[in-house]
A and B are shown apart, each in its own frame.
Chain A
């Protein structure tokens, strides 16, 4: 009896092995995939931005894997929802590194959470690519060897707006916005730089509404009574929609030129549909219809084919992350974190918005900014940016002296 079992198991073992081989040829023949862990907010209003990062990343990774991956290995990724909370975010990062054994981390849209993960990655020596947080501390004051930002930051937004506005004839400005840290940081960034480039500009007044102020009509009518040449709006996501609606309903946008960062971006214009005002100036890192290059068209088409919607600015960041990771791995020659960092900090890639390089000193991606004006076109159900002016990356990057100063060197 005993002998029969043993003999039977001898037959079974190679049989089972053969089945396993047939079912998992990749597992048996190729090396395990390189793992990327993405932590981001996948619940609540931030998903307007974060879904596009993840989805474009997936499109780009699928493309890379279809061509055989990098270094003969595929790239795999796992996502975690941090619910926009710093503590959850940090524990997710640790979980990804310790349990999932990811080689590279990516995310998030919350600046405080990003800075927390960045600290963790600094001590653990894990490469971390920041995809949406706008704090200039990430690659500035708190920058280090293992963190990279492939998105704009508040300094870059301020500089781009200042460069764009300085070319227009406005002299008397009014500043208005959300009375909280981001609003004031944005306003200070724009105004400080504008005053530097064009000293004759004058700030004739400012008004700040409390965060979540439901009706902005009295603010806009009061501003139009002061008759400024132009108004700089420093608003976050929620009051952005309010400000645009009121600007349209009161006819404000028709009378007084207004600037809002991301007013021209699809994330703002798509939910407003035909309710968005025309003639509003805005800046953004990405438009799916501009620049009108084969590379951008192909990217927008691939995204639209996969998800049935147009790519927003987050899609550019997701695409860049995937390309930077793949190219840097190729150059590093193997999945070695230190070699990966060495390769990534000198990396240049071709992207839908032209060539994008990582600046070696602070690991900030050198992204151009596009300033445009909202306009109705028959082709789309939402407004688009027209008269787009490209502000090159060199004009918007924070100076290395400023970074040194911020880091106390």
Chain B
């Protein structure tokens, strides 16, 4: 026990890929959380609940559209269910609260996460749910003599696609540019004659879409259950903090640190694996208290 023997390159590569695939789920969810934090200054604890709703909606939709394409349909529409929920929440509740202080918003979104949790229980019940990966992504492929699940490769691919799409959105689209400007100086954006209220609504919904997308993507790899929101949201806030509050690329860096230290921790010192990602967070915060990349706060 304790320190294990050194591993061959195959094991190291496969462990790295496993870590990367977990990082990608974290990145997709955290990018959304960070975007909302940056543009709206809302520390949204209910972000985890939206991720959970995304996963449960994926379950229902993949049951509804049974067959090989069920998962793909769910992957497209489950995040849209989350978009709808978040749009209603934004227009009915959040939009009245943007000017409040952060502690107030923290309590409000925490309350909302409890309400969402109970709503999920009402709609889907408290049983464990399971979603199948689509046929072409089932099973594993062998690489350098060790096997690796296909679905996790797909996750890495999707993570890259989302990262590129986000970069294009923030830098090349008008609403992306306005969002960035609003994050820096929202009063000035308002003075330029832009309807800040709708910019905020759009930014909030986009952030929540990412939570729903993360939930849909994670569904085939886990058991979908109440409480998956709380596990995630703690990790997500840690990641956003070490990356730099409100910085989406910080979310990417933070997710990579978190996912990869976890997977290598499990390989090297399995008995203490739980500690590794948190130790990494502590080290980063000791060295760079404001996070690795520039915080917009």
Chain A residues with CB under 8 Å of chain B are 43-45, 47-48, 176, 179, 203-210, 212-215, 217-219, 221-226, 237-239, 241-242, 245-246, 249-251, 255, 271-275
Contacts and interface: CB of A to CB of B under 8 A. Distances in A.
Contact of A203 (B1, B138, B220): B1
Interface string B3-26: 010010001001100110110010
Size bracket, chain B contacts: 35 or more
A37 B262 CA distance: 48
B222 A237 contact: no
B146 interface: yes
B271 A225 contact: no
Contacts of A205: 1, 4, 270-271
B139 A214 contact: no
Nearest to B149: A249
10 contacts: A45-B128, A206-B270, A207-B266, A208-B271, A214-B221, A217-B152, A218-B263, A218-B267, A219-B273, A223-B270
Given A207-B273, A246-B221, A249-B140, A225 B126 contact: no
Nearest to A174: B270
B266 A250 contact: no
B227 to A, nearest CB: 6
B15 A222 contact: yes
Contact of A214 (B140, B152, B232): B232
B159 to A, nearest CB: 14
Nearest to A274: B132
Given A205-B270, A218-B263, 18 more contacts: A48-B127, A176-B270, A209-B274, A221-B15, A222-B11, A222-B266, A225-B11, A241-B130, A245-B130, A245-B220, A245-B222, A249-B133, A249-B149, A249-B151, A249-B221, A271-B130, A273-B130, A273-B132
B147 A251 contact: yes
A133 to B, nearest CB: 19
Contacts of A45: 126-128, 225
B128 A237 contact: yes
Contacts of B173: none
Nearest to A240: B223
Interface string B111-142: 00000000000000011111011000011100
Contacts of B271: 205-208
Contacts, number: 132
B240 interface: no
B267 A245 contact: no
Contacts of B18: 217-218, 221
B211 interface: no
B123 to A, nearest CB: 15
A93 B11 CA distance: 54
A255 B147 contact: yes
Nearest to B5: A226
Contacts of A245: 130, 220-223
Interface string B266-295: 110011011000000000000000000000
Contacts of B140: 249-251
Contacts of A242: 222-223
A221 B129 CA distance: 24
B108 interface: no
B77 interface: no
Interface in B179-210: none
Contacts of B146: 221, 224-225
Contacts of A210: 274
A203 B151 CA distance: 31
B183 to A, nearest CB: 30
Nearest to A218: B263
A215 B221 contact: yes
A255 B140 CA distance: 12
B222 A215 contact: yes
B262 A44 contact: no
A187 to B, nearest CB: 12
A271 B131 CA distance: 10
A207 B266 CA distance: 7
Interface in B1-54: 1, 4, 7, 11, 14-15, 18-19, 21-22, 25
A207 B215 CA distance: 26
A5 to B, nearest CB: 56
Nearest to B126: A44
B218 interface: yes
Contacts of A272: 130
Best-buried of A43, A204, A217, A273 by chain B (most CB within 10 Å): A217
Best-buried of A204, A215, A245, A251 by chain B (most CB within 10 Å): A215
Contacts of A274: 132
A321 B218 CA distance: 42
Contacts of B149: 217, 246, 249-251
A247 to B, nearest CB: 10
Best-buried of A47, A179, A225, A271 by chain B (most CB within 10 Å): A225
B128 A219 contact: no
Contacts of A44: 126
B228 interface: yes
B273 A209 contact: yes
A176 B140 CA distance: 22
CB-CB nearest 7 A-B residue pairs? A207-B270, A225-B11, A218-B263, A241-B223, A44-B126, A251-B140, A249-B149
A48 B223 CA distance: 15
Contact of B225 (A207, A221, A238): A238
A251 B139 contact: yes
Interface in B217-238: 218, 220-223, 225, 227-228, 231-232
